[in-house]
Structure 1
Amino acid sequence: MNTAAPLRVAILGAASSGKSTLAAALAERYQTLWVPEYLREFVDTEARIPVAADQFHIAETQRDREDAAAPRANRYLFCDTAPLMTVVYGRHYFGGIDQQLAALAASHQQDYAITLVTAPDIPWIADGLQRESEEVSVIVNRLLLDELAARGIPYLLVSGDPGERLSQVERHLS
């Protein structure tokens, strides 16, 4: 068990942009934990896509799982998404977000020591019930980059195949 708080690394990006693959590879490389995206579980468990009223619950559950994993992580905790990504999706799909989600995203924004963004440059693969398409992924990626810029959040854009992405992040973390 680690006594120092790990650095949280937010891995953001559109659907099918390699977030989970990168998070798992980084956790293996650094012998630590990663927190899978709760949205996937939600869609599978509920057998439906989320609606606007689900957004806060999804983001809050994601954060709760990060908080539960943090004491067991070594040096880094790789987070496959963050509340900010839920904000981006809420604005895109529902035309806005509620105050609870806005407050959650704002209050935890500084918790991430590093933000990675996965470029939508790998082959797009449909993700079950999740409704995104390759075209929407490009739009969501642009919205994400705009949101990061508006909030003044620095990030590393990772691109290429999984090995190239891992190398880019390793250089950034060293």
Structure 2
Amino acid sequence: MNTLKKIAIVGPESTGKSSIAQELAQYLNTVCVPEYAREYCKNLGNTYTLQDEVNMYYGQIALENTLIPLAKNDILICDTTIMTIKIWCDYLFGDTPQEVKDEINHHHYDLYLLMNIDLPWVEDPLRDFPDQREHFMAVWESELRSLNAKYTIISGLGEERFKNAIEAIATYFKK
């Protein structure tokens, strides 16, 4: 029996994560775990509390665990991870609850596709920091390195970005 491989699509705001995650899931004939926070934040008006972040943490884990049994071809595509919660908590509140930090070390993904900031910013009521993308790109790289995670930075516009993501996954599976 094969083992489920979890591929996480991560990165700063407005880098095409959700689009790539959905396209990859369709291409690989599996399911995509959506970003729980996106739905959660729709009615918050860009005002978040630490408790909101903790709620999003629990929601993302529950959503992922619910969709794991529906994964096909031994692959699960995840549009973000709980690492996003840590990054936002550190940025907005100066620290992250210990339960989130602890779970990040135990919540394994086989491969991270880190979306580069080479796409133009697209306005969205749920996006907050158009001038901080370089900062958050550096934070993502630092966090992934601290986990010794396998990750590939995905660049390119349009179809090229998707092809680069497919190539990164194919390269991972050849190892």
Provide TM-score, normalisation by structure 2: 0.89
Q: Deviations over 1:68-89 (max 9, x none)?
A: 1111111211111101121112
The match for 1:68 among 59, 62, 66 is: 66
Name the CA distance, whole Å, in 1 between partners of 2:3 and 2:43: 31
What secondary structure is seen at the aligned counterpart in 2 of 1:123?
coil
Q: Is the 8 A contact 2:9 2:80 kept in 1?
A: yes
What secondary structure is seen at the aligned counterpart in 2 of 1:116?
strand
- Residue 163 (structure 1) shift: 1.4
- Larger CA deviation: 48-57 vs 115-124: 48-57
Q: Deviations over 1:8-48 (max 9, x none)?
A: 11111011111001001101111111011111101114444
- 2:23 is the counterpart of 1:28: no
> Hey, what does 1:169 align to over in structure 2?
165
Name the CA distance, whole Å, in 1 between partners of 2:165 and 2:117: 16
What secondary structure is seen at the aligned counterpart in 1 of 2:145?
helix
> Hey, what does 2:97 align to over in structure 1?
98
Name the CA distance, whole Å, in 2 between partners of 1:15 and 1:103: 24
Name the CA distance, whole Å, in 2 between partners of 1:137 and 1:94: 18
> Hey, what does 1:83 align to over in structure 2?
82
Q: Deviations over 1:110-158 (max 9, x none)?
A: x21111100011010122143222x112211111111112222120100
Q: Is the 8 A contact 1:55 1:101 kept in 2?
A: no
4+ runs of 1 displaced by more than 3 Å?
A: 45-49
Q: Which runs of 5+ in 1 are unaligned?
A: none
Q: Is the 8 A contact 1:22 1:162 kept in 2?
A: no
Length, aligned pairs only: 169
Q: Which runs of 5+ in 2 are unaligned?
A: 171-175
What secondary structure is seen at the aligned counterpart in 1 of 2:110?
strand
- Residue 4 (structure 1) shift: 5.2
The match for 1:119 among 116, 120, 127 is: 116
Name the CA distance, whole Å, in 1 between partners of 2:20 and 2:166: 11
What secondary structure is seen at the aligned counterpart in 1 of 2:68?
helix
Name the CA distance, whole Å, in 1 between partners of 2:167 and 2:46: 39
- Residue type at the aligned position of 1:118: M
